[in-house]
Amino acid sequence: MLTQQKSSVFDWLNRHFLSCPFKAHFGIDCPGCGLQRSVLALLKGNLPESFRFYPATIPLIILIIFTVIHLKVDFKFGAQVIKLVFTGIAVIILINYIYKIYNHLLIN
Amino acid sequence: MSDEQGTPQENPIEPIKNDIPAVEPLQTPPVTPPPFQQPPPFGQFGNGMGQQNLPNATAALVLGIIAIPACCFYGIFGLIFGIIAWVLGAGDVNKYKLNPAFYTESSYKNAKAGKICGMVATILSILTIVFFVLVIVGAITNPEMYDNFLKGMK
């Protein structure tokens, strides 16, 4: 029963993605395309799949959780860590997008 | 207290005579009272309870981080969030530099982080938008090449 409910929830999510307007008009992925599929894969517990769809998802979620904790607890080097991880995520997104362009993965 | 209660009748006359003696106690006390008089301003504004968080530090940090997923969904939202986070963070950093004793250092660090996150998100969004504009311009001016480009990618 539980697995059935879970799968129905995932199906529902799968059918109700916010579609990227850029992709809808021009057929090319934007730098954020894959994020929702990736989050869904993560919810299913499929880490490699999530990484394949969008490598920045896992660090991004970790960063968001860390920021919430930091705003409550106020770590000494929290702001520094957030800056570094954030810049790293931006670099990952850029590299991922350039990789997609070069490997003709923009059209799915 | 009893002395003060006894004197009020003499007070109307005394103020004129006491002008000179009243100056001397002010000159001599500075040797001892400073320990009592000076600490309060530091206690209030420097060390402990009186310090405030910068008003927009948290907002700048949160907006700066939200800017990345927002940038990824629609491009323009990332730009808006990123610029707001940048402006809020920079404003708070300036505020802290004007009056460092008045605000907590942790909120200053947060504001600084928010500013940098906003900058990074803004740069990423601008790159994204430039790429979009290039693709759109390419599609409008050179439809055939655009088609070939797409087919080539498939």
- Residue spans of the domains in chain B: they are 2-47, 57-153
Q: What ipTM, to 2 d.p.?
A: 0.77
Report the number of distinct structural domains present in chain A: 1
Q: Is B117 an 8 Å CB contact of chain A? A: yes
- Rounded to a whole number of angstroms, the distance from the CA of A80 to the nearest CA of chain B is 7
Asked whether the beta carbons of residue B71 and residue A26 sit closer than 8 angstroms, the reply is no
Kindly tell me the number of DSSP H helices and DSSP E strands found in chain B.
Answer: 9, 0
Optimal mutation site among B51, B53, B54, B61, interface A, most CBs of chain A within 10 A: B61
- Using 50, 70 and 90 to split pLDDT, how confident is the model at B139? confident
- pLDDT at position A35, please? 85
B116·A86 Cβ contact <8 A: yes
Nearest to B125 by CA among B87, B77, B84: B77
* Residue A26: per-residue pLDDT: 73
**Chain B environment of A21 (Cβ under 8 Å):** 74
Q: Would you say A71 and B58 are in contact if contact means Cβ atoms under 8 Å apart? A: yes
| Facing residue for A93 by CB, picked from B110, B113, B124 | B124
Vertex A28: Cα angle to A26 and A31 (nearest 5)? 125
Exposure class string for A43-65: b at 16+ Cβ within 10 A, else e: eeeeeeebeebbbbbbebeebee
Would you say residue A107 lies in a domain?
no
Query: Does residue A49 form part of some domain?
Result: yes
Q: For residue A30, give the nearest of B65, B128, B153 by CB distance.
A: B128
- A72 by DSSP, 3-state: which? helix
Question: What pLDDT score was predicted for residue B34?
Answer: 44
**What is chain A's length?**
108
Q: What residues make up the domain containing A90?
A: 2-102
Minimal C-alpha gap between A79 and chain B (Å):
5
Domain presence at residue A94: yes
* Contact at CB, B132 and A22, closer than 8 angstroms: yes
Beta carbons of B53 and B102 less than 8 angstroms apart: no
Q: What is the pLDDT of residues B60-110, one digit of tens each?
A: 888 888 888 876 666 688 888 889 999 998 998 888 888 888 888 888 888
Tell which residue, B44, B46, B77, has the closest CA to residue B63. B77
CA distance B142 to A52: 33
The whole-angstrom separation of Cα B142 and Cα A7 is 45
**Strand, coil or helix: B75:** coil
- How high is the mean pLDDT in each 10-residue block of chain A (108 residues)? 68 73 76 84 88 89 90 85 90 88 68
Identify the residue with better confidence: B34 or B82.
B82
